[in-house]
Structure 1
Amino acid sequence: MKDKYCILNGHLISIYEPAVAFSNRAFRYGDSLFETIRLCNNRIMFLRDHILRLRLGMTVLRMNVPAEFNYENVNELIIQLLKHNSHAPNARIRLTIFRNEGGYYTPESNDISFLIESEELDQVYTLNSKGLWMDIYGDTKKPINKLANIKSGNALLFVLAGLAKQSMKLDDCFIINELGNVCESISANVFVVKNGTLYTAPLSEGCVAGIMRKQIMNLATENKILTFESPITMNTLMNGDEVFLTSSIKGVEWVGQFKQKFYTNHMAQLFIEKLNKLTH
């Protein structure tokens, strides 16, 4: 079996080599951030936006942002990793940032380390043939604070939602915020279509500042589709013509059913087509 690699702090190592210590702060405290990035048709999609979101997250967590942690260097390292792993033309890339070890809850240093991993995928953005069956995960509400918009290593809320999804035999669950509104799904942002107009929760509702969310809003503007950032309530979902999810890896997934409500997927199909044009 051919060896596979990851990159730790700029150095290529085997995935079978120990990469982090037991005292690693991501392991102990979830003191970390991550990005999941898509390679599509040999193109690293929206990397500048991913790097910007990481740097903003590092600022929120008061981590030191090294000058060399920039688009050019990260892009070069990802290309190197994909080449060594023979992961092309489609792949999933995970970039994890964690504060260096030392201290308990209070860190001894704000310097960071980073890890890049890759996993081969077999296709470009492809719309799901069968609509997702979804319901609400309401046992734990997502708080609205400055941590809500970043992708941190503390994902217990989403783990619990994933377990609820399994027990209810659903495809995904809507996450609700402390106000009782839908802010996202387990791993995606949520869009609702009503009479040709697009609605999605604003960042002030506590959703992750999704990279694909941003791209869909840009594509909507380019295609003269009216878009509003407004709270998504149960009534919004029940009165919508379409509901779809957006994420960096899958692009767009359409929801087929929420409770007794069924949806179409016309706009979801449009956005998948527009996204795939960006891969050329």
Structure 2
Amino acid sequence: MINFNGTILADEANILTTNRGFLYGDAVFETVKVVRGSILFLEDHYFRLMASMRVVRMEIPMNFTMEYFEEQLLMVATADGCSASARVRITVCRNDGGYYLPTTNEVSFLIHASALDQQLYSLPTADYEVDLFKDFYITKQLLSSIKTTNRMLNTTASIYAHENGLDNCLLLNDSKNVVEAIQGNIFMRIGNKLITPPVAEGCLNGVMRKQIIAIAKKTAIIEFVEEVISPFDLQKADELFITNVIKGIQPITKYRKKNFNTETAELLIEKLNDQINS
């Protein structure tokens, strides 16, 4: 028997009592954007999920090919009637059994989808203010670069942002350098130099981060580099923006007393949409 919110229930009434993703955060996930029945950046998402499973020593099923991955995600988007434009998440957790030491490395997965309003990416024009979150820090390690279900730091930072009237927070690593935002990678432009922190600093190895880097490297008017970003650098920046697969690019308009323009974000999102339509 289990006690759920003061009520005694049968064991089988709540599957989470043995789910390792719930009990220990023993799960990894991937969130994709579906547009017109196709998964954007399919290969990047698939190989990142496979890499994440290997890092945490999950056993990858023999049938879990990229074709199978695509088929399962699109099946859910279609069944939910949102294959025109959808946010689809797959969570892979180690199967039940054991405590910290699992009894098996075999896995199960759960997929769910929700409709999105837009197919292509658009640049938000509303004010978007951020500040630093300094209560907890990201560690510079491989686990920080993959998407696990242990997102307590991001959750706490989101609550902090809400309580302080902010739209987002910038997260710091244990060297007190700027690593990423709550739900995306951070890019900073100073002059014609576009900068994002290296993955070795502890930031997520983002799929949209990869796309923006590739586009920036082909753009002659921008010099792209991966460099450490300190909080002091933010005051010198001409532009800051956040990237993730669902929103594309989110410009930051204000950090403390500093205001930023959006010209690079406008250029990059235009090229991103051209790439999707090609």
Superposition TM-score, scaled by structure 1 size: 0.91
> Is 1:246 matched with 2:258?
no
Structure 1 position 104, deviation (Å): 0.4
Corresponding residue for residue 210 of structure 1: 206
Structure 1 position 163, deviation (Å): 0.8
Aligned equivalent of 2:116, options 103, 121, 127: 121
Aligned equivalent of 1:23, options 8, 18, 21: 18
Aligned residues: 263
> Is 1:278 matched with 2:275?
yes
Structure 1 position 154, deviation (Å): 0.3
Structure 1 position 43, deviation (Å): 2.9
Distance 1:268 1:20, change over 3 A: farther
* Code of the aligned partner of 1:111: E
* Code of the aligned partner of 1:239: K
Which stretches in structure 2 are left out of the alignment for 5+ residues?
A: 1-12
> Is 1:197 matched with 2:193?
yes
Q: Please state whether the residue corresponding to 2:229 is helix, strand or coil.
A: coil
Q: Please state whether the residue corresponding to 2:76 is helix, strand or coil.
A: helix
Q: Could you tell me how far apart the structure 2 residues matched to 1:61 and 1:19 are? A: 26
Structure 1 position 40, deviation (Å): 2.7
Corresponding residue for residue 65 of structure 2: 70
Runs of 4+ with deviation above 3 angstroms: 18-21
Structure 1 position 278, deviation (Å): 2.4
The aligned runs of 1:220-235 (5 Å cut-off) are 220-224=216-220, 225-235=222-232
Aligned equivalent of 2:43, options 25, 39, 48: 48
Identity of aligned residues (%): 36
RMSD (Å) for aligned C-alpha atoms = 1.4
> Is 1:163 matched with 2:130?
no
Contact 1:43 1:279 in 2 (8 A): no
Structure 1 position 21, deviation (Å): 4.3
Contact 1:200 1:232 in 2 (8 A): yes
Contact 1:34 1:54 in 2 (8 A): yes
> Is 1:95 matched with 2:90?
yes
1:115-172 Cα distance to aligned partner (Å, 9 max, x none) = 1111000013111112310000001111111211001000000011011001111000
Corresponding residue for residue 134 of structure 2: 138
Structure 1 position 51, deviation (Å): 1.0
> Is 1:183 matched with 2:144?
no
Corresponding residue for residue 108 of structure 1: 103
The aligned runs of 1:30-45 (5 Å cut-off) are 30-45=25-40
The aligned runs of 1:145-160 (5 Å cut-off) are 145-160=141-156
Structure 1 position 88, deviation (Å): 2.9
Which stretches in structure 1 are left out of the alignment for 5+ residues?
A: 1-17
Corresponding residue for residue 264 of structure 1: 261
Superposition TM-score, scaled by structure 2 size: 0.91
* Code of the aligned partner of 1:35: E
Q: Could you tell me how far apart the structure 2 residues matched to 1:122 and 1:115 are? A: 23
